[in-house]
Structure 1
Amino acid sequence: MPDRPTAGRVLAGLAGVLLLTSGCSDLSPSDLSDVIDLDVSQAPTDSQGGGTGASDPDSALALLDGLRVEEADPPGYDRSLFPHWESGLWSEEAQDDCTARQVVLLRDGENVEVDEDCQPVSGTWYSEYDGETFTEAGDLDIDHMVPLAEAWRSGADTWTTEERERFANDLDTSPQLWAVSASSNRSKSDEDPGEWLPPLESFHCEYAAAWIEVKHTWDLAVNSAEETALREVLSGC
């Protein structure tokens, strides 16, 4: 099972891909720093940067302890309030010629090759949710770890549209975007961990930690059933 690449490995991988596809063999990775900007988002809280790194149960529990517990279901949710999808393309570009979706596919895949439009044409992708491996980018969905509707219920209803757009395209501040099998993403829908967990049980600990980190970074609340489910998962990690 491949590890999720670090930001440095993402930049190095993108550098290699763009060198291959652009034909600019004299362009160095340092030159690419002038055109690649993975920081397309900024959380509307004081917690910014590459995420909190809550990768162990104790750290995740500490973050969970700091989350607000609220039972809320504000009206008015509409997916268009989180701009990110337009005519099949992510609206927020992560770099010249690469959309956020394409960057996630580059980041989460192995041996990924792209065409002149930065669209992956070959590679291998491992879906963390169900343990399936794919060789066609079209078989992957880009999942929001905390679904947009769930974010709305958890506090995003008070955000500006610009803040919701940054959340929907968050590549850097939290583990929000994942390339996973289309079937697992659609099974999850907008459910929280009190209602849905990945089919692959060995991923539950990392899933819970990532969910909590996103909610912490973006100052989102949890409901009581969600909190209970997260604590139960972490108790077995």
Structure 2
Amino acid sequence: MTRLRGGVVTAVATLVAVTGCTAEQDKGSAGPGEGKGGGAALAAAESLTVKGRAPKSGYSRDRFGTAWADTDSNSCDTRDDILKRDLKEVKFTGGTCKVTYGLLDPDPYSGKRITYRRGRSQVDIDHVVALSDAWQKGAKYWDPGKRIALANDPLNLLAVDARTNRGKGDGDAATWLPPDKAYRCEYVAAQVAVKKKYGLWVTAAEQSAMKKVLTGCPDQKLPTGGNPTRAPERFRAR
């Protein structure tokens, strides 16, 4: 089942497999709900490189830059961009960037209706491919600009119920799937799209889990779009 997130404006671009530190530019502002169909998600999952998980040593959030950097230069930070994209009945303070209220209806992970109010932690912006997971599957070897891009790419970001999200941790498809089974196909397709776009690998167990989910929805679309795979030079990370 495919659920399109409300309010997404997309400049669709063809996903290109990226390896190492090659900076293929994949432009647009899509979230995980839009893409191309015809079994593309399952085919892409089967094409991902399979390797063992690298050590987590050396990982920290700082390796991916300052949280919610405005890498698309629209004068709004990434968190507010995603809130604007995914919430309904959005209200702002001081312009059209700072989101102070909205409805997550439904929350893609739990299927519940969640009210967002700024300063209360009922809504998280989740990295669909967790940054720690990315670190252990290729990002450890990237230059900072590519890690910053991944951390702020709308293709890899989703507004979700905070409590459900915190149960996910840095799990991959082999260890965590959304409780709402109706969203699992779209969720896994989003993970596949991000890993293919950035050249991240998967473990054998992870690929098996992805294929198991996507076999149940053979027409599942592969999300496309998002930001370029390298952040502007002005952004820095350790």
Determine if contact 1:45/1:219 at 8 Å carries over to the other structure. no
Alpha-carbon distance change, 214 to 6 in structure 1, aligned in 2, over 3 angstroms: same
* Identity, % of aligned positions: 35
CA deviations on 1:179-206 (whole Å, 9 max, x unpaired) are 0010111111100010000010000111
Shift of 1:83: 1.2
Determine if contact 1:140/1:180 at 8 Å carries over to the other structure. yes
Bigger Rg, structure 1 or 2: 1
AA aligned to 2:129 is V
AA aligned to 2:69 is S
Higher relative contact order (CA 8 A, sep 6+): 2
Shift of 1:219: 0.7
- Structure 2: stretches of 5+ with no match in the other structure: 12-20, 218-238
TM superposition score normalised by structure 2? 0.75
1:157 has 2:140 as partner: yes
1:186 has 2:166 as partner: yes
AA aligned to 2:172 is D
The SS at the match of 1:98 is coil
Give distance in 1, aligned partners of 2:165 and 2:92. 24
AA aligned to 1:220 is L
The SS at the match of 1:62 is helix
- Name which of 115, 119, 124 aligns with 2:103: 124
Determine if contact 1:55/1:206 at 8 Å carries over to the other structure. no
Shift of 1:162: 1.6
Shift of 1:91: 3.0
1:60 has 2:41 as partner: yes
RMSD: 2.5
Alpha-carbon distance change, 123 to 168 in structure 1, aligned in 2, over 3 angstroms: same
AA aligned to 1:160 is D
AA aligned to 1:165 is I
Q: Give the corresponding residue for 1:3.
A: 4
Q: Give the corresponding residue for 1:113.
A: 91
Give distance in 2, aligned partners of 1:188 and 1:180. 11
Give distance in 2, aligned partners of 1:219 and 1:63. 12
Give distance in 1, aligned partners of 2:169 and 2:53. 19
Give distance in 2, aligned partners of 1:226 and 1:57. 22
Shift of 1:92: 2.9
- Structure 1: stretches of 5+ with no match in the other structure: 10-42
**How many equivalent residue pairs?**
197
CA deviations on 1:102-122 (whole Å, 9 max, x unpaired) are 010001011211001632222
Shift of 1:2: 7.0
- Name which of 194, 206, 216 aligns with 2:186: 206
CA deviations on 1:94-138 (whole Å, 9 max, x unpaired) are 445421000100010112110016322222113101112122243
AA aligned to 1:6 is V
CA deviations on 1:67-102 (whole Å, 9 max, x unpaired) are 1000032332112101132xxxx2335445421000
CA deviations on 1:5-39 (whole Å, 9 max, x unpaired) are 33259xxxxxxxxxxxxxxxxxxxxxxxxxxxxxx
Give distance in 2, aligned partners of 1:119 and 1:132. 24
Determine if contact 2:48/2:196 at 8 Å carries over to the other structure. yes
Question: 1:1-237 residue pairs with structure 2 within 5 A?
Answer: 3-4=4-5, 5-7=7-9, 44-46=22-24, 48-50=26-28, 54=35, 56=37, 58-74=39-55, 75-85=57-67, 90-92=68-70, 94-95=72-73, 97-116=75-94, 118-126=97-105, 127-137=107-117, 138=120, 139-171=122-154, 175-237=155-217
Give distance in 1, aligned partners of 2:176 and 2:152. 23
AA aligned to 1:80 is D
